[in-house]
Structure formats: structure tokens, C-alpha cells
């Protein structure tokens, strides 16, 4: 009887913690959106409100870092109260990635020849960009590390004691910031708290964060194996309650409201919720199951194929087409407009408050797809906290190098990708869609609109590029040996060790070519390359907008497309 009461109390406590965590998530979402809105109102004066989410991310980073300089307890508060919620948002921000592909209109589709040209240029630009970006980053950083170590060795050793044949130098990029040396960053006896580690709870992974919010990682990790083995089938089914709850809401609320009042946003929202959470948990369950345990390569291949972004795109595309068939009053394009108008939440708020209607959305309509895109914007803002965690890596020679390379690659990508598309045979608008071929969607749209490119082609290229990257990363990064700290490890002090040129170059390449989807993947797998990817993605995206909207660069881009 006592055990039963203890179990009931434990479940009640977990439910309360889950509700509190959910309220934290909602609060962070609203705070981030309000920050984006406030910044966008200021940027309206210079006609660049689309930079709001990127500037919001930088504002969070600098403010958090500034507060930490004055009060070191900021880091303890972040680790104890915010980190898990930030990780949850980072994990599920990818729900917005499928929306542009779902919204592709059949009237905007190209013929087979044009599609072939687009695929050809897509492959050419990706192969060249990935190879060149990684090669420049790795070779330059590797050479700098060798020269730096040689200089340090020579400056600290008297000439009379220098050996004729010195041993190979240890590649070590020194970090600056917080007054810490590189040895203090990974020396457990130094007493320096890790910005990556929550001292009160074990580290959590992207897979754990797909679990219900009320489920404590610390509790599950400490549960005896015998207790886990005694879980009944009912318990295992109950663990999938997010999917069951989404389906229940869809059938019990979404369908009746849509049938009675013609309001489909609840129905669409439940469909997005069900599609995303089901695919996320499907991949998680397969990775943690005993299926194909004796064939790890096959298991890794299947788990990678079960990519939530890819599967959610397919499910939502099928749902939209099914709704168009089932509704005699609306065709496919009208159903898509009810699903999403492609307007940011801050733009809808601005239109409603200032009474300035959006040209393509007179009634300031906000659909379920727009809500998913809003979660993506919030995810970009909260990356400011992730940059705060990795501030030692960013305030370094590697950080300065990342910024420099990103600017150069942005210029090369804008001019050469458009020129390549024109040479292959694409016309002006389709060629210009490659000017922002790997820029996060928040910046790609205004960049392509300014030069008159094809928005549908650009959205397809950007999202396809991200999905392709997420399918390839698990295989390539493991073979390359890029440093990643497993979430199952209780000791994650290794996250504070100096990063090698391979890791830094990989982060730069993924940030530039994989955009937000690549950065989200690296953060989800706790990769050391993540901060460099976030920094390079930001600089690359901003400079791409500059090169496509500011003269004389804009004129050069248009001339490269044949216009």
C-alpha cells in the first residue's frame, strides 16, 4: 500500500513538474516573440525588419554574457532553471522546416527540363561549396595552429637548449575570455564551472528531450534496470501519450470545429503537432530499441532515414492534399492559404496594432503553419543562450577566423552560384533563387524578393539542402571523427577542452551550407562544432542579404543571372 501511495505521489510530482516546465516553455516563447517584435519595429525605420530574429539572438548572447561578467551566479541560474527548456526548444524548433515544402504551389512548378537544371546546379554548388569551405577552414586553422605552437615553443626555450629536430607540435587553439586559460577549461581540479554542464542534473540529449516534459532525465537514468524490465505494455503505451493526445484533440475538437464552423486552424494545428511529435518519438524509440542491435550500421542507416523533418514533410503534404480532396469548397491553393500565409508572428502583430495591412494577407490571418514558423524564429533567438554556453570558443582566434571565412564564402556563393545556374541553362528568376541557396528561411525570403528570384525554387533548395545534410551528417561526422560528447556520459568536462581544426572547420562548413537545420543537428548531438556553425550561419546569412540588396553588389548579382 505504501509503495502504491509513493508511486501516486511520484506521478503527481512529475505531472506538476511537467506543467511548470510547459509554462516555462510558453513564457520563453512569448518573451522571445516580444523581443523579435520590438526589434522589428525598430528595424522598420531602415526597412530591414527581417533581421529581427538574428539580432534577437545576438542581443540574448551579449546581454547574458554581460550579466555574467557582473554576476557569476547567472551561469548557475541558467544551468539550473533554463538550460533544459532551451534544449527542448532547440530540439523542436525544426517543426518549422517542413512548412515551405508543404506550401509549394503546383502552379509554381517548373517543367522537367528546368527541374533537371535546378538539380544539376544544386549538386554542383553543394559539392564545390562544401569542399572549398571545409578545405579553407581546415588548412588555414591547421597551419595557424602549427605556427602558433612553434612560436610558443621557441619563445619559451633558450636558443642553446633547442633541439635540432623538434617533435611535432600539439595543435591547440588558445581561447580568450573570462580570464581562463585553456588548461583551466578542461582541468577538473581547477574548480572552474563548466558552461555546458548542469551541476544538479545529468546532461540530456536530443532524444531525451523528445520525451514528455514531465519526465525527469535524472529520475529515469537512476531507475534500476529491474524496474524498467517490469514495465507493462500499458506503461509503454502511456509513454506515447503526446501522440495519442494530439490525435485525440484532432478527432474530438479539430474535426467537429472545422465541420461546424469552418475554422480549420485547430485541426491543422493538431495535424502539425501529431505529425511532428510522432516522427520524433518514432526515431527515438527505434534508436533506443533492441532492433538491429547486432547490425549497428544498418540500425544507424534506418534511424537516419527516419528523419523527423523528412517524415513530417511527407505527412503534412499528404494531409494538405487529403483536405483539399475532402473539401468541395476549397481547392489545393486555398487549403494551403488556410494552413499558412507565410507571415511572421511579429508582422501579424504589427499589422494588427498599427492598422497597416499586409499586402498578401489583408486580414492578418495566422495559420497553423505560421505558428510552426514562429517556433522556428524563437529557436533562432534562444540560440543566443547556446552561444553564451560556448562563449570561450567564440572569443578566440577561431571565432575571428569563422567570421572572416563566412564573409568571403558569402560573397563567392552569391555571385558564383547565380552565375553557375545561368550557365547551366536556368532563366533569370530561377538563377537568382540560388543567391541564397543555403541561408536560413528568415533571411532567404527577403534576399530573393529583392533581386526578383523565384521564391518557390529557393524554398525548395534551402529546405532540401537542410534535409539532405541531416541525412548525411550521422555517417560523415562519425567517420571524420568530429568531437561529440555523448549525452549518456555523466562526465561532460570534455566539452570544455580546446577544439581542433577539424572540428572548427566542420562547424564552419555546416553553418554555411546546412544553415539552421545543420546548426540544430549539431546542438542536438552536443557537437563541439555547434558554436562555430551558429556563428558562421549568422554571418553568412547577414552578408548574403547585404550582397543581394545593397548596390553595387545587387547590380552584379543581376548581371550574373543574365538580366
Q: Is residue 25 classed exposed, middle or buried when 0-12, 13-18 and 19+ CB atoms within 10 A define those classes?
A: middle
Q: Nearest-CA neighbor of 507 among 377, 401, 382, 392? A: 401
Would 441 be classed as within a structural domain? yes
Those residues whose C-beta lies under 8 Å from the C-beta of residue 220, and which sit 6 or more positions away, are none
Would 315 be classed as within a structural domain? no
Would 151 be classed as within a structural domain? yes
- Cell 605552437 belongs to 149
Q: Using CA atoms, how far apart are residues 486 and 483, in angstroms rounded to an integer?
A: 10
pLDDT tens for 34-83 read: 999 999 999 888 878 888 888 898 899 999 999 998 888 888 888 888 88
Going from the first residue of the chain to its last (563 residues), give the mean pLDDT of each consecutive group of 10, the final group possibly shorter.
69 79 89 93 84 88 91 88 86 86 73 85 91 89 77 62 42 39 35 36 37 40 46 58 85 89 90 92 84 81 85 92 84 88 88 82 87 89 85 81 92 91 88 89 82 86 86 82 55 53 90 86 84 88 88 88 77
Would 5 be classed as within a structural domain? no
DSSP bridge partners of 361: 358
Query: With left for phi above 0 and alpha for psi between -120 and 50, is residue 178 left, alpha or beta?
Result: left
* pLDDT at residue 35, rounded to an integer: 94
* pLDDT at residue 15, rounded to an integer: 75
* pLDDT at residue 113, rounded to an integer: 83
Q: Nearest-CA neighbor of 393 among 508, 480, 479, 544? A: 508
- N- to C-terminal Cα separation, the chain: 80
* pLDDT at residue 39, rounded to an integer: 93
pLDDT tens for 207-260 read: 333 444 433 333 444 444 445 444 555 555 566 678 888 888 889 998 899 888
Q: Nearest-CA neighbor of 379 among 85, 77, 80? A: 85
What stretches of 157-222 show up as alpha helix (H) in DSSP? 182-186, 217-222
* Own/partner long-range contacts of 143-146 (Cβ < 8 Å, ≥24 apart): 144/173, 144/397, 144/401, 145/169, 145/171, 145/172, 145/173, 145/500, 145/501, 146/171
Would 416 be classed as within a structural domain? yes
Would 414 be classed as within a structural domain? yes
* pLDDT at residue 154, rounded to an integer: 66
Tally the domains of the chain.
1
* pLDDT at residue 158, rounded to an integer: 56
* pLDDT at residue 482, rounded to an integer: 72
Would 29 be classed as within a structural domain? no
Q: Average per-residue pLDDT in the chain?
A: 78
* pLDDT at residue 358, rounded to an integer: 81
What stretches of 93-199 show up as alpha helix (H) in DSSP? 99-102, 112-156, 182-186
Task: Name the grid cell of 63.
Answer: 546581454
Q: Nearest-CA neighbor of 392 among 78, 145, 182, 90? A: 182
Would 259 be classed as within a structural domain? no
* pLDDT at residue 300, rounded to an integer: 80
What is the pTM (predicted TM-score) of this model?
A: 0.76
Parent domain of 521: 111-158+166-196+394-563
For residue 247, what is the enclosing H or E element? helix 241-249
Q: Nearest-CA neighbor of 170 among 155, 154, 156, 150? A: 150
Q: Nearest-CA neighbor of 368 among 249, 273, 440, 248? A: 273
Helix axis angle for 455-480 and 501-524, nearest 10°, is 120
What stretches of 499-560 show up as alpha helix (H) in DSSP? 501-524, 530-549, 553-560
Amino acid at each position: 500500500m505504501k509503495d502504491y501511495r509513493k508511486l501516486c505521489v511520484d506521478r503527481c510530482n512529475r505531472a506538476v513538474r511537467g506543467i511548470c516546465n510547459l509554462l516555462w516553455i510558453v513564457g520563453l516563447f512569448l518573451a522571445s516573440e516580444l523581443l523579435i517584435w520590438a526589434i522589428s519595429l525598430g528595424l522598420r525605420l531602415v526597412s530591414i525588419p527581417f533581421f529581427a530574429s538574428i539580432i534577437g539572438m545576438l542581443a540574448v548572447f551579449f546581454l547574458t554574457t554581460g550579466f555574467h561578467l557582473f554576476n557569476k551566479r547567472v551561469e548557475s541560474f541558467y544551468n539550473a532553471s533554463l538550460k533544459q527548456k532551451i534544449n527542448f526548444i532547440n530540439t523542436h524548433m525544426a517543426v518549422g522546416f517542413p512548412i515551405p515544402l508543404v506550401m509549394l504551389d503546383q502552379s509554381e512548378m517548373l517543367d522537367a527540363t528546368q527541374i533537371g537544371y535546378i538539380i544539376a546546379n544544386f549538386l554542383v554548388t553543394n559539392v564545390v561549396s562544401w569542399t572549398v569551405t571545409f578545405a579553407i577552414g581546415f588548412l588555414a586553422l591547421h597551419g595557424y595552429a602549427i605556427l602558433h605552437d612553434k612560436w610558443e615553443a621557441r619563445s619559451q626555450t633558450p636558443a642553446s637548449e633547442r633541439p635540432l629536430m623538434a617533435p611535432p607540435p600539439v595543435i591547440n587553439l588558445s581561447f580568450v575570455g573570462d580570464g581562463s586559460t585553456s588548461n583551466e577549461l578542461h582541468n577538473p581540479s581547477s574548480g572552474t564551472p563548466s558552461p555546458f554542464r548542469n551541476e544538479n542534473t545529468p546532461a540530456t540529449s536530443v532524444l531525451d528531450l523528445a520525451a514528455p516534459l514531465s519526465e525527469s532525465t535524472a529520475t529515469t537514468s537512476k531507475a534500476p534496470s529491474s524496474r524498467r524490465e517490469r514495465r507493462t505494455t500499458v506503461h509503454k503505451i502511456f509513454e506515447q501519450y503526446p501522440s495519442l493526445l494530439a490525435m485525440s484533440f484532432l478527432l474530438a475538437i479539430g474535426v467537429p470545429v472545422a465541420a461546424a464552423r469552418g475554422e480549420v486552424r485547430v485541426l491543422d494545428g493538431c495535424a502539425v503537432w501529431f505529425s511532428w511529435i510522432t516522427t520524433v518519438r518514432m526515431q527515438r524509440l527505434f534508436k533506443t530499441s533492441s532492433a538491429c542491435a547486432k547490425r549497428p550500421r544498418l540500425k544507424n542507416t534506418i534511424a537516419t532515414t527516419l528523419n523527423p523533418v523528412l517524415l513530417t514533410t511527407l505527412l503534412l503534404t499528404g494531409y494538405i492534399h487529403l483536405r483539399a480532396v475532402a473539401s468541395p469548397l476549397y481547392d489545393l491553393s486555398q487549403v494551403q492559404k488556410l494552413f499558412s500565409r507565410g507571415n511572421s508572428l511579429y508582422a501579424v502583430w504589427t499589422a494588427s496594432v498599427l492598422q497597416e495591412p499586409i499586402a498578401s494577407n489583408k486580414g492578418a490571418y495566422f495559420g497553423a503553419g505560421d505558428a510552426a514558423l514562429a517556433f522556428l524564429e524563437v529557436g533562432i533567438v534562444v540560440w543566443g543562450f547556446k552561444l553564451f554556453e560556448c562563449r570561450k570558443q567564440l572569443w578566440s582566434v577561431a571565432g575571428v577566423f569563422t567570421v572572416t571565412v563566412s564573409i568571403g564564402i558569402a560573397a563567392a556563393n552569391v555571385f558564383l552560384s547565380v552565375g553557375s545556374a545561368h550557365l547551366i541553362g536556368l532563366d533569370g528568376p530561377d538563377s537568382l533563387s540560388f543567391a541564397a541557396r543555403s541561408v536560413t528561411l528568415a533571411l532567404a525570403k527577403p534576399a530573393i524578393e529583392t533581386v526578383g528570384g523565384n521564391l518557390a525554387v529557393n524554398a525548395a533548395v534551402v529546405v532540401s539542402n537542410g534535409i539532405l545534410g541531416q541525412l548525411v551528417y550521422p555517417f560523415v561526422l562519425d567517420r571524420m571523427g568530429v568531437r561529440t560528447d555523448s549525452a549518456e556520459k555523466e562526465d561532460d568536462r570534455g566539452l570544455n577542452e580546446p577544439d581542433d581544426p577539424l572540428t572548427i572547420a566542420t562547424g564552419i562548413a555546416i553553418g554555411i551550407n546546412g544553415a539552421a537545420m545543420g546548426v540544430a543537428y549539431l546542438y542536438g548531438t552536443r557537437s563541439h562544432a555547434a558554436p562555430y556553425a551558429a556563428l558562421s550561419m549568422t554571418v553568412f546569412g547577414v552578408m548574403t542579404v547585404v550582397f543581394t540588396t545593397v548596390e553595387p553588389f545587387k547590380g552584379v548579382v543581376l548581371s550574373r543571372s543574365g538580366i
